[in-house]
């Protein structure tokens, strides 16, 4: 009777059908709003696209003018007995209709750059992905071990975390000018911005995850004769691995949010360069397409990593019910040949 259950119940999961419906709606609502504003002529449409210039000297066919300006000019034309201009209502150029953006997804890739030597869209995207990758890789290279050490040893925690706690409040873009001064105008300062945006959060998040590992596991390992280094490599690291992996996915998402700011530093490159370039040419459908592409790449990376995680950590997938039911069905009840249990009569 799950379908009869309430839609609103605190901390209760919904049926899978309802979850699917809601997921679809979470995308349908914004897209639907966009479609409505674009395709329903009397909704918004504050501009007039001129079809016939009439006798208005500065009107050009196909150009957008504000509705008030258009009406004003036509009043003047009417009062002086000249030919009226005509046109249809339109949205501003910065709000292209959905189908135009959909077209742009293809067209943007196939349109050659305006000037020789400039990158194609796919080259810009690839450049952005590399910036993210290196920023995140360098951050993780230092951040993961440091986070684990801080979570494991009070010494490291006390020595590093207070400063890190302070530093993470400094906005990464604030270091843009410094990064350029120190690292030049090409990729290194961009990578540095991603690094600064990720690294300090990373230490804190990972040290917290490490601290959440059940101390009893460490004590159990100690009573089994594990030495300090072995505790770290054989208990702490494998013990936190699934959670660490989840943290890294979230942190990678953060790294993405620093991308545009990072690419503005020094010479503009990557997808940011593409977006600015297209908006300069007023091809806003390409701008939207590029922004949405960033989202799609980010989300699909995350979904892929989530899927991969299920296969990387098999022990987190084995819930009591299914597998043990299966084992019980194969082997019957727990084998008790080693000891016949003493019968307990009531």
Partner 1 sequence: MNVELPHYTDQTPEVKKRFDELKSRKVILDIQNLNRVFETGDGEVVALKNINFKAYRREFVCVVGPSGCGKSTFIRILAGLDEPTSGQVLVDGNSVSGPGPDRGMVFQRYTLFPWLTVKQNVMFGLEMSNHSKTESESQALQWIDLVGLEKFANAYPDQLSGGMRQRVAIARALANRPRILLMDEPFGALDAQTRCQMQSYLMQIWRNVDITIVFITHDLDESLYLADRVLVLKANPGEVQEIIEVPVPRPRNPDQFVSPEFLATKKHLDTLIHPQDDEEKDDLPIMRMTNVGDEVE
Q: Give residues in contact with partner 1 (CB under 8 A).
A: 214, 216-217, 219-227, 230, 234-235, 238-239, 241, 313-316, 318-320, 323-324, 327, 331, 334-339, 341-345
CB of 210 to partner 1, least distance (A): 15
* Pair 205, 255: CB distance under 8 Å: no
CA distance 137 to 124: 20
Nearer to partner 1 (CB atom), residue 117 or residue 333:
333
Residue 64 forms beta bridges with which residues?
A: 49
CA distance 192 to 134: 9
Q: How far is CA 206 from CA 29, 135, 145, 153, in A?
A: 36, 17, 9, 13
What does the DSSP 8-state code read for residue 66?
Answer: E
CA distance 20 to 232: 42
Nearer to partner 1 (CB atom), residue 10 or residue 338:
338
* Pair 159, 168: CB distance under 8 Å: no
Nearer to partner 1 (CB atom), residue 154 or residue 334:
334
CB of 336 to partner 1, least distance (A): 6
CB of 256 to partner 1, least distance (A): 29
Nearer to partner 1 (CB atom), residue 57 or residue 337:
337
CB of 242 to partner 1, least distance (A): 8
* Pair 9, 18: CB distance under 8 Å: no
List the beta strands (DSSP E) in the chain. 47-52, 64-66, 86-90
Nearer to partner 1 (CB atom), residue 159 or residue 323:
323
Nearer to partner 1 (CB atom), residue 300 or residue 316:
316
CB of 153 to partner 1, least distance (A): 17
CB of 238 to partner 1, least distance (A): 5
């Amino acid at each position: 009777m799950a379908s009869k259950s309430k839609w609103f119940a605190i901390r209760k999961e919904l049926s899978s059908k309802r979850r699917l419906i809601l997921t679809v709606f979470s995308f349908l609502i914004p897209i639907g709003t966009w479609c409505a504003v674009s395709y329903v002529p009397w909704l918004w449409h504050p501009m007039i696209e001129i079809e016939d210039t009439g006798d208005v000297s500065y009107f050009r066919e196909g150009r957008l003018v504000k509705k008030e300006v258009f009406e004003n000019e036509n009043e003047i034309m009417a009062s002086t007995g000249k030919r009226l201009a005509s046109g249809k209502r339109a949205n501003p150029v910065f709000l292209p209709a959905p189908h135009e953006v959909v077209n742009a997804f293809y067209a943007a890739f196939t349109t050659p750059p305006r000037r020789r030597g400039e990158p194609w869209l796919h080259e810009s995207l690839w450049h952005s992905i590399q910036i993210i990758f290196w920023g995140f890789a360098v951050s993780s290279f230092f951040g993961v071990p440091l986070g684990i050490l801080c979570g494991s040893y009070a010494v490291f925690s006390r020595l590093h975390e207070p400063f890190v706690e302070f530093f993470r409040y400094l906005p990464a873009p604030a270091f843009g000018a410094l990064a350029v001064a120190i690292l030049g105008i090409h990729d290194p300062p961009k990578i540095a911005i991603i690094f600064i945006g990720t690294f300090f959060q990373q230490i804190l998040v990972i040290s917290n995850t490490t601290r959440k590992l059940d101390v009893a596991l460490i004590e159990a390992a100690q009573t089994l004769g594990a030495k300090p280094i072995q505790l770290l490599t054989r208990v702490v690291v494998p013990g936190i691995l699934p959670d660490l992996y989840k943290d890294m996915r979230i942190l990678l998402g953060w790294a993405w949010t620093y991308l545009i700011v990072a690419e503005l530093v020094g010479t503009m490159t990557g997808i940011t360069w593409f977006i600015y370039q297209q908006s300069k040419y007023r091809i806003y459908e390409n701008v939207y397409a590029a922004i949405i592409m960033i989202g799609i790449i980010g989300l699909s990376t995350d979904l892929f990593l989530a899927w991969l995680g299920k296969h990387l950590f098999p022990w987190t997938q084995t819930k009591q019910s299914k597998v043990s039911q299966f084992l019980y069905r194969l082997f019957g009840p727990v084998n008790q040949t080693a000891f016949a249990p003493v019968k307990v009569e009531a």
